[in-house]
Chain A
Amino acid sequence: MTALQSQKTRRKFSTLHVIIWGYIIWSLVPVIIAVAYSFNDGRSRTVWQGFSFRWWFSDPNASLWHDDSLRNTISNSLILSFSTMLIVTPLGITLAIGAQRIIGRKSKVVQSLTAAPLITPEIVVGAALLLTFTQLFTMIPLGYTAQLLGNVTFSLSSVVVIVRARLVSIGSSFEEAARDLGATRFQALRYVLMPMLWPAVMASLVVVFATVIDDFVITSFLSSGVGSETVPLRIYSSVKGGATPALNALATLLVLTSFTVLILGLFGLSFWRKRHGEPGGLRAALSDITQADA
C-alpha cells in the first residue's frame, strides 16, 4: 500500500467518524434537552429558569407526583402493557411452535396470517378495529378492553418472530432424542423444548411491554376518552398546548420505564445464557432483543 493510499483511507475513516458521532448527537441531544427541562423551575418548556424538582414532586397540584390526571395515565399505561404482555406471550409461543410444525395448506394459511400484521401500517389495523368494535362486535366497548384486544393483535406476530428464531437455532435433535428415549410428543415439548425457549420468552416479554407502553396509534383509535388515556395519548394531546414541564417529566418517566424493563431483560438474558453455558453474554442478549425489532 502506498503512502498516498493509506492517507486516503484514513481520511475516509475520519469523515465517517464525524458522520456517525454527529448522528448520535443529533439523535440523542434533543431528547436529553427535553429531559433536562423537566427540572425547570419556571412554567416554560423552552426557557430555562433554574433547577428544581417542582414538576416532579414539589408543586402541590401540578407536579407529576400530585396531579391525579397524570398519575392516572401512568397507571392506565402500566395496566395495559402488563396485561397485553401476559396474554400475548403464551398465545405467541404456542402459535410459533404450531406454525413451525404443521404442514400443507393449513400451514400456508397460518404463515400468511402471522406475516400480515408485520407489514400492515398501524393506522390500518387501528382503523379496522375501531370500525369493527363500533359496528360488528358491539359488545366490546371502546376503552381498556378494546385497547387490550388491539394491542394483543398487533404484537402477536412479533412474539412469533422471536420464538421462531429461537426454535430454528435450537433445532429438532433434542426433542428427537427425548422421543427416542420414550417421551411422548407432549412430554418432549414440555420438559425438553420449553426450558430451552426461556430466552425467547424473556425477549418477548420485554419487547411486548416496551412496544405496548409506547404504542400510540392503536391505543388512540380504540380509546374512549379520559378513562383510558395512556401516557403517549396524554403527550400527544398536550404537546401543542401550554402544558407545563410536568409533561416533560411524564415523558421522561415513560422513557425511564421502558429502559428499566429493557435493562432488566438484558441482564436476565445474559444471566440465563451464562448459567446454561450458552456463549455471548450481553452482546448476544442485545441481539436476542433487537432482531425482533429489526
Chain B
Amino acid sequence: MTKQPRLWAGLALPGSVWLIALFAVPFYAVACIAFGTIDPIFRDAVPQWNPLNWNFVQAQEILQSLINGPLQGVILRTIIYVVSAMSISFLIGFPIAYFLARHAGKRKLLMLVLIIVPFWVNYLMRMLAWVNLLSPSGLFSRYMNFFGVHYNWLDGSPITVILGLVYGYVPFLILPLYATLDRLDWRLIEAARDLGASSRDAFRLVTVPLARAGLVAAGVLIALPMFGDYYTNDLLSRSPSTEMLGNQIDFFLNSSTQPQRGALLVLAMSAILVVAMSFYLRSTNKQAKQTLR
C-alpha cells in the first residue's frame, strides 16, 4: 500500500460522508421500504431494515398487479414519449449545433448567447409561457382558430406533451452537441472531401462516426431527466391518458399514502435507467478502444 498524505483523504472526507448519508443511504432506504411490509391496521409502510428479511413476495405481487394493470400502458407510453421527444430534439438540435460549430461566422458569440439564454430561464416559466399561449383564449389558439384549426391543446393531447418535452429539453441538448462538434478535427472531413467523397458521404462516413460518442452522451443527458419528468406532463395535460412513469411516482408518494408502491416504482425506474446507462457506457468504451487501436 502506498503511503498517502492524510490531508487529501481529510479533504475528501466531509463531502464523501455527506454523499453516503444523503445519497447512498436513501437508495438503501428505498429498497427497505419497497421490500418491507405494510402495517395491517394503519396501511402504512413498515420498512424492513435487514436485507436478509426482505419480503420479495409481496413486492412481486404489487409489481405484477401494477404491470398487468394500468402501469403497462404507462411504461410503454413513457418510452414512446421519450423516444419521440428525443428524435425531434435531435432533428432540431443537430443542425443548430452543426451550424454554430461550422458556419456561424461573425455573429457566433451573439447566437451562442441567445441559445444559452433559455438555459437560464426557469423551466416552469417556460412551461407557463406555453400554457398561456395554448389555453383556449391564448394567442396561439386564437391564431390557429383563424386558420380554421380548432383543437384543445391542453386537454390530454400527446402532441402537446411531446412538443412540451422538446421545448423544455432542447437547450440542454444543443450545448453539449455544440461542444462535441466544435472539438471535431475538421481537417479529417476536408481530407475525405479531397479524396473524392461527396459532402453527404463525408458527413455520413466521417463526421457522424467521429462525433458518435458525444452525440450519444448528449442524448443520454436529456433522456434521463425526460424519463423522470412529471411536471411538463402535469402542466400541459394533467390527464390520465398521457400519464408517464414519473406521474405515477409523484402520485403514490405525494398525493396518496402508498409509499411502498412509490418505492417500488422508483426502483423499477432506476433499474430501467441502469440498463440504459450500462449500454451507453459499453458503447463508449468500445469506441474508445477502437480509436486507440
| Chain A interface (Cβ < 8 Å from any Cβ of B) | 13, 16-17, 19-20, 23-24, 26-28, 30-31, 33-34, 37, 44-47, 91-92, 94-95, 97-99, 101-104, 106, 109-110, 113-114, 116-117, 119-125, 127-132, 134-136, 149-150, 152-153, 156, 160, 185-186, 189, 210, 214, 216-217, 220-221, 231-232, 235-236, 239-240, 247-248, 251-252, 254-255, 258-259, 262, 283, 286, 290-291, 293-294
Question: Nearest-CB distance from B81 to chain A (Å)?
Answer: 15
B138 CB contacts on chain A under 8 angstroms: 46
Q: Which residue of B lies closest to A30 (CB)?
A: B129
**Pair A94/B100 contact, Cβ less than 8 Å:** no
Interface residue B120 (Cβ < 8 Å from any Cβ of A) = yes
**What 1/0 flags go to B37-66 for Cβ under 8 Å of A?**
000000001010000000000000000000
Interface residue B246 (Cβ < 8 Å from any Cβ of A) = yes
- Which of B96, B129, B132 is A23 in contact with, Cβ under 8 Å? B96
Q: Which residue of B lies closest to A261 (CB)?
A: B120
Mostly, the B contact residues are: helix
- Which of A102, A124, A134, A152 is B228 in contact with, Cβ under 8 Å? A124
**What 1/0 flags go to B2-17 for Cβ under 8 Å of A?**
1011011111111110
15 A-B interface contacts by CB (under 8 A): A24-B111, A37-B132, A99-B12, A104-B1, A113-B16, A117-B19, A119-B220, A120-B273, A122-B225, A132-B22, A216-B124, A217-B231, A239-B127, A251-B122, A254-B122
Interface-lining segment among B68-76, B145-153, B259-267, B283-291: B259-267
**Pair A34/B235 contact, Cβ less than 8 Å:** no
**Pair B121/A185 contact, Cβ less than 8 Å:** no
**Pair A128/B266 contact, Cβ less than 8 Å:** yes
Q: Which residue of A lies closest to B140 (CB)?
A: A30
Q: Which residue of B lies closest to A107 (CB)?
A: B12
- Which of B13, B33, B109, B115 is A131 in contact with, Cβ under 8 Å? B33
Expressed in whole angstroms, the Cα–Cα distance for A19 and B96 within the complex equals 7
Question: Nearest-CB distance from A182 to chain B (Å)?
Answer: 17
Expressed in whole angstroms, the Cα–Cα distance for A23 and B33 within the complex equals 45
**Pair B26/A129 contact, Cβ less than 8 Å:** yes
The 8 closest A-B pairs by CB, nearest first: A98-B12, A95-B15, A121-B228, A98-B11, A128-B26, A123-B228, A34-B129, A30-B129
Expressed in whole angstroms, the Cα–Cα distance for A242 and B287 within the complex equals 53
Number of CB contacts from chain A to chain B under 8 A: 257
**Pair A255/B122 contact, Cβ less than 8 Å:** yes
Q: Which residue of A lies closest to B154 (CB)?
A: A240
Interface residue B238 (Cβ < 8 Å from any Cβ of A) = yes
Expressed in whole angstroms, the Cα–Cα distance for A125 and B263 within the complex equals 12
**Pair B19/A27 contact, Cβ less than 8 Å:** no
Query: Which of chain B's residues 155-176 have a Cβ closer than 8 Å to chain A?
Result: 167, 170-171, 175-176
Residue in B12, B120, B227, B234 whose Cβ sees the most chain A Cβ within 10 Å: B12
Mostly, the A contact residues are: helix
**Pair B103/A235 contact, Cβ less than 8 Å:** no
Given contacts A123-B230, A132-B29, whether A152 and B263 have CB atoms under 8 Å apart is no
Expressed in whole angstroms, the Cα–Cα distance for A280 and B279 within the complex equals 38
Question: Nearest-CB distance from B96 to chain A (Å)?
Answer: 5
**Pair A16/B103 contact, Cβ less than 8 Å:** yes
- Which of A33, A132, A216 is B132 in contact with, Cβ under 8 Å? A33
- Which of A46, A99, A113, A232 is B139 in contact with, Cβ under 8 Å? A46
**Pair B132/A31 contact, Cβ less than 8 Å:** no
Expressed in whole angstroms, the Cα–Cα distance for A184 and B25 within the complex equals 37
Q: Which residue of B lies closest to A16 (CB)?
A: B99
**Pair A294/B179 contact, Cβ less than 8 Å:** yes
Interface residue B269 (Cβ < 8 Å from any Cβ of A) = yes
Expressed in whole angstroms, the Cα–Cα distance for A235 and B135 within the complex equals 16
**Pair A102/B8 contact, Cβ less than 8 Å:** yes
Q: Which residue of A lies closest to B1 (CB)?
A: A104
**Pair B270/A30 contact, Cβ less than 8 Å:** no
Beyond A98-B16, A110-B12, 7 additional contacts (C-beta under 8 Å) are A16-B99, A94-B11, A99-B15, A152-B18, A160-B15, A236-B231, A290-B175
